[in-house]
Amino acid sequence: MIPLILERTFVRFLLMSTVVNKKLRGEVLRQRVLETALELFSTCGYFNTSIHDIRREADVSIGSIYHHFGNKEALAKALYDELLERMDAGLREVMERERGCRARCDGIIAFMFRAATDDPRTMRFVLESRHREFLPDEPPVCSSRPFMRMRECIEQGIASGEVCPIEVPVAATAAFGGAIRLVQLHLDGVLEKPLSRYLASMQDAAWRAIASDPPAPAKHLIKETEE
Amino acid sequence: MIPLILERTFVRFLLMSTVVNKKLRGEVLRQRVLETALELFSTCGYFNTSIHDIRREADVSIGSIYHHFGNKEALAKALYDELLERMDAGLREVMERERGCRARCDGIIAFMFRAATDDPRTMRFVLESRHREFLPDEPPVCSSRPFMRMRECIEQGIASGEVCPIEVPVAATAAFGGAIRLVQLHLDGVLEKPLSRYLASMQDAAWRAIASDPPAPAKHLIKETEE
DNA sequence: GTCTATATGGCGATAGAC
DNA sequence: GTCTATCGCCATATAGAC
């Protein structure tokens, strides 16, 4: 264990040495700007937030923001990428930990509920803002990696026979659409109870929608008549 | 000398006709502005659309727009109200036509799919734009009348025993969340096939999620008979 | 009711010292 | 890398003739 006094001295040394100092300070500042942008974008929206607002709230200069990000849109893109990556990491972790489609679906829903509760700002920014309005070249959020991962999970479930063989988009939206919608209700503040109270029954409902085994319905196997 | 009574009548007629003409022209203009606003708001977004854009596209003057709506926000609110009312009318119609929770749920999903296909702009504006960013005093869209109507339908289903007795928010989102999500995929242009091709299996999946009796019959495949 | 011309403010972005 | 001061534009909104 390093004595506090030495640790402090070391930190001070770091701060004093010009090269490291500038880099460190730069990184800290960059993070503070991103954090502030998330706060303001998710509560007021991208267009209601000016660079000056971010400057004031983050207590940095306009110049620094432009130095690090280039322009407002690029700042939003940097934030968006970071949040999607963080979310994707969470989902990857679920997919590695859980085995079987049901356990993974449950895990994904649980992850979303936890994320929406612990960090509503991130969830709000990823789910609710219309990124294409300010990131015109970005593909829709439903084709981002986290959402592709959910879809993948369902495809594997169909392949293994755990999920009944309906069209993939139907199965994927039936599995997670309800949970996503409930998360939105939570973010809009219209739910009486905390999200966690609904977790188990949402997981059950989602699984009933797509599971193959319980009633083993043969409806979808009936040859459809073209109109 | 013209009798006073006739003169009065004639003047009155003139006044009436000019007034009516102006009123008519005004109404036509008002509708053209609303139509244009829907077009631009739903494709470019509220904040990327200027009053000048609307002016140009609708071929009216700035002054007329402000005369009819007061300001940009009020214009958006007028449009929003009109679209919600139109949607609510469609849902009311479904609720009156169909009896039983399953038929009504199917009808609601079918209505949403049809609306998203026939008039994607309306669906995009209602579902996707974040109204609270430009209509700060508006309640969230999930507590608007169309969405309350969906919730009501589920509550009745629980009361009648057709829907299994889980928490209402869970049942409502499980029933319609998948369909709403699929509509969004459609609006984002990431679906291979037209929405209608997914209708029957989406209805089935939605009903499986909330039905109380496990073996849910595929009602849409059964030929309906007049009673 | 409709129009054109104009006012006003705030925004994103830049310049250039340190 | 960070900062302050400032630019130029374009948005919403208004004034006032017709």
Q: Please, is A145 exposed, middle or buried when counting C-beta atoms within 10 Å of its C-beta (0-12, 13-18, 19+)? A: middle
pLDDT band at A111 (very low <50, low <70, confident <90, very high): very high
Q: What confidence tens digit (pLDDT) does each residue in B20-75 have? A: 666 777 889 999 999 999 999 999 999 999 999 999 999 999 999 999 999 999 99
Q: Which candidate, A34, A37, A57, places its Cα nearest to that of A45?
A: A37
CA atoms within 13 A on the CB side of A62: 4
DSSP B211: B
**CB nearest A219 (choices: B170, B185, B204):** B204
Range(s) of chain A covered by CATH 1.10.357.10: 83-214
CATH top class, domain A83-214 = mainly alpha
CATH 1.10.645.10 fits A8-70, yes or no: no
The answer to whether A178 contacts B177, with C-beta atoms less than 8 Å apart, is: yes
Range(s) of chain A covered by CATH 1.10.10.60: 8-70
Contacts of B211 (CB under 8 A, 6+ apart): B102, B162, B163, B164
Give the pLDDT score at A18: 57
Distance CA B206, CA B106 (A): 9
Q: How many Cβ atoms are within 10 Å of B63's Cβ, its own excluded?
A: 9
pLDDT band at A216 (very low <50, low <70, confident <90, very high): very low
- What residue type is assigned to position B17 of the chain? S
Longest dimension (CA), chain A: 81
For chain B positions 31-90, those within 8 Å of chain A (CB to CB) are: 44-45, 47-48
Range(s) of chain B covered by CATH 1.10.357.10: 79-220
Range(s) of chain B covered by CATH 1.10.10.60: 7-70
Distance CA B194, CA B192 (A): 7
Contacts of A222 (CB under 8 A, 6+ apart): B218, B221
Cβ atoms of A175 and A206 within 8 Å: the answer is yes
Distance CA A113, CA A189 (A): 14
Residues of chain B with pLDDT under 50: 1-2, 4-16, 216-221, 223-227
Instruction: Please state the CATH superfamily assignment of the domain spanning residues B7-70 in this structure.
Output: Homeodomain-like (1.10.10.60)
Q: What confidence tens digit (pLDDT) does each residue in A125-145 have? A: 999 878 999 999 999 999 999
Give the pLDDT score at A23: 75
Q: Which residue of B has its CA nearest to A200?
A: B170
Scanning every strand, the nucleotide with its C1' closest to B26's CA turns out to be: C1
**CATH of region B79-220:** 1.10.357.10
Contacts of B99 (CB under 8 A, 6+ apart): none
The pLDDT of residue A220 is above 50: no
Q: Number of A to B CB contacts under 8 A, please give it.
A: 145
Distance CA A112, CA A110 (A): 5
Six-digit token string for A47: 């267009």
Give the pLDDT score at A13: 47
pLDDT, average across residues A153-172: 98
Strand partners, A163: A211
CA B20: distance to chain centroid?
30
Q: What confidence tens digit (pLDDT) does each residue in A5-59 have? A: 444 444 444 444 556 666 778 889 999 999 999 999 999 999 999 999 999 999 9
Q: Which candidate, B20, B148, B174, places its Cα nearest to that of A207?
A: B174
Q: From start to end of chain B, where are the E strands?
A: none
Scanning every strand, the nucleotide with its C1' closest to B58's CA turns out to be: C2
Q: How many Cβ atoms are within 10 Å of B221's Cβ, its own excluded?
A: 12
Give the pLDDT score at B22: 67
Is A1 strand, coil or helix? coil
- Residues whose beta carbon sits under 7 Å from strand C: A 49-52, 62-63, 66, 71-73; B 22-23, 25-26, 29, 60-64, 66-68
Q: Please, is A129 exposed, middle or buried when counting C-beta atoms within 10 Å of its C-beta (0-12, 13-18, 19+)? A: buried
